[in-house]
Amino acid sequence: MTVLSTTPPIHLLQITDTHLYGNSEGTLLKMNTRNSLDHVIKFAKQNETEIDLILATGDISQDGSVEAYKSFMNIIADLGVPYRWIPGNHDNPDVMEEVAYGTNICEKLIQVNNWQIVLLNTCVLGQAHGNLAAGEIEFLEDNLHIVESDVSVDHCLICLHHNPTKANASWMEEIGLNNGEQFFEIIAQFKKPRCVVYGHIHQELDYVHDDIRCLCTPSTCIQFKPNVTSFAEDKVNPGYRTLRLFEDGSIDTTVIRVNGFNSRLEYNGTE
C-alpha cells in the first residue's frame, strides 16, 4: 500500500469509461474514444492547478487489448501525476495487470493524509453486470477492519466501476452491481467510510444511500440519457470529476464537462 502526504485538502480527479480501442481509429457509437479522452486530459491539464491522484474507475478499454491500455497510459501521462485504475465490464483484468507490470497502477489501497482509498474489482468477465466476488468481499471487510483501528486514518473513500444502487433508466436494471445490498451492509458496519465513487452508467449523480454519499461521474466519451425506457444518448459533453477531501471528512466535488470538442454529434453543448 502506498502512503502519500500532501497539503490539505486532497485533490483527486476521477475519470471513467474511456472505452479505448487498440486501433486509434476505434469508435463507440461513432465517437472516437481516443480523441475524446485526449481532449478531456488536455482540458484538465489546462484547468486543474492541483491534482494529487487520479482515479480511473473502469471500462478503460472497450476491447480489452494491450494496445488500448498502453494508449491510456500514454495519454494520462500528460498530467504527470500518480493514478490508479480498476476494471469495468469491458476490461480484461489480466491484461491490465500484464500492461501495468512494474508499476503500482493496479494497487487497490492508497492512503493519502488521513484518508484511505479502497479500489474494488466488480468485473465479471464477458458480462455487463458487476459482482463483488467472495475474495473481493473479504478484501473489503478485512481492510475496513484495519482502517477502523488505524489511528492515522479518519475517513475512507471506496471506488468501484458498477453502480451499487438501482440505475435511473429501466434498460439499465440488469447491468448494475448484483450484490449492491451486501456491499452497503458491509459498509454500514464501520464508522469511517464517507463516500463511494463509480462510473459505468455515463452520468453525473450525487446522492446519499444508507448514509453514504454516492458519486457517479460522466464518461470521457458518450453519455447515457437518464430516466428513459430504452437506451438513448444524452447530448451533453464528456467530462471528469474533481474531489477535494478535507481532514474533517467533508468533500467538495464538481463535475467538469469539456467544451470545444466536436464529434459526429457536435459535442459542444448543443445538438
Mean pLDDT confidence for 118-127: 95
228 pLDDT band, cuts 50/70/90, is: confident
pLDDT confidence band for 231 (50 / 70 / 90) = confident
pLDDT tens column, 147-178:
999 999 999 999 999 999 998 888 888 899 99
Task: Give the integer Cα–Cα distance in Å for 122 and 40.
Answer: 25
**Average pLDDT score over residue span 45-53:** 95
> What are the backbone dihedrals phi and psi of residue 100, each rounded to the nearest 5 degrees, phi first?
-85, 0
Is 269's pLDDT higher than 70?
Answer: no
Please say if the pLDDT value at position 265 is more than 80.
Answer: no
Average pLDDT for the chain: 92
Domains and CATH numbers, the chain: 9-257 (3.60.21.10)
What integer pLDDT is reported at residue 262 of this predicted model? 58
Q: Tell me what pLDDT residue 261 has.
A: 63
Query: What is the C-alpha separation between 144 and 198, in angstroms, rounded?
Result: 18
Sign of CA dihedral 160, 166, 169, 172: positive
Are 219 and 34 a contacting pair, CB within 8 Å?
A: no
Per-residue pLDDT reduced to its tens digit, 23-47: 888 888 888 999 999 999 999 999 9
Residue with cell 476490461: 91
pTM for this model (two decimals): 0.94
- Say if residues 78 and 51 touch (Cβ distance below 8 Å): no
- Round to whole Å and give the CA distance between 54 and 131: 24
